Amino acid sequence: MTQPCVFCAIVKGEAPASVVYRDDMVLAFMDIRPANPGHVLVVPLEHADGVLDISDEAVLARMFSVGRQVAAALTDSGVRLEGFNLFLANGTVAGQTVFHVHLHVLPRFSGDGLGFTRNANARMPPQSDLDETAERIRHAGGWE
């Protein structure tokens, strides 16, 4: 970490945030610029730049578990919500702007204008290409 981290400041209570939930591993609070009303961020208490920097798998599991519980609470809260995204941007090219890893819990409703753009007409590569890529990932992961 080269410069002060705003999410660490929030965790320490040194910067303001509208807190939803806190336990011994994670903090959930309202996004300051919500993409839709009810947009919540779940962050580990311990700083990690990105998801690959989280050293404790239990923290990662807790982030997702709490993200799901927040989504359930949002569903019961009266916030406009027909569905939700749980997403995490890792790296600048993926849209990460705050380099303290965070899971977005984002309420969605039809016509909200948000979207993760994918090419609906993306070609289906030959099975052999998929097999080859799967083999590379298995090799890198040590799952052979």
* 100 belongs to the catalytic site: no
Report, in Å, the least distance between residue 92 CB and ligand 5GP.
9
- Give the pairing of strands 40-44 and 19-22: unpaired
Stretch near Zn ion under the rule CB under 5 A, chosen from 27-35, 70-78, 94-102, 129-137: 94-102
Which of 45, 86, 89, 112 binds ligand 5GP (CB under 6 A)? It is: 89
Q: How far is CA 105 from the centre of its chain?
A: 7
Cross-strand partners of 26: 44
Q: What is the CA radius of gyration of the chain?
A: 18
d(CA 55, CA 14) in angstroms, rounded, equals 25
86 binds, among Zn ion, ligand 5GP, none (CB under 5 to 8 A by kind): none
Specify the residue, 41 or 81, whose C-beta has the smaller distance to ligand 5GP: 41
Using CB under 6 A as the binding rule, whether residue 6 contacts ligand 5GP is answered as yes
| Cα dihedral sign, 122-126-129-135 | positive
Specify the residue, 4 or 126, whose C-beta has the smaller distance to ligand 5GP: 4
Structural element, H or E, at residue 11: helix 6-11
Cross-strand partners of 108: 83
Residues numbered 121 to 140 that lie near ligand 5GP (CB under 6 A) are: none
Tell me which of 39, 100, 102, 104 is the catalytic residue: 102
Comparing C-alpha atoms, which of 39, 38, 18, 37 is closest to residue 29? 18
Residues numbered 90 to 119 that lie near ligand 5GP (CB under 6 A) are: 95-98
| Lookup result for tokens 């998929």 | 130
Which of 5, 26, 29, 103 binds ligand 5GP (CB under 6 A)? It is: 29
Residues identified as active-site? 102
**Binding footprint of Zn ion on the chain (CB under 5 A):** 5, 7-8, 47, 100
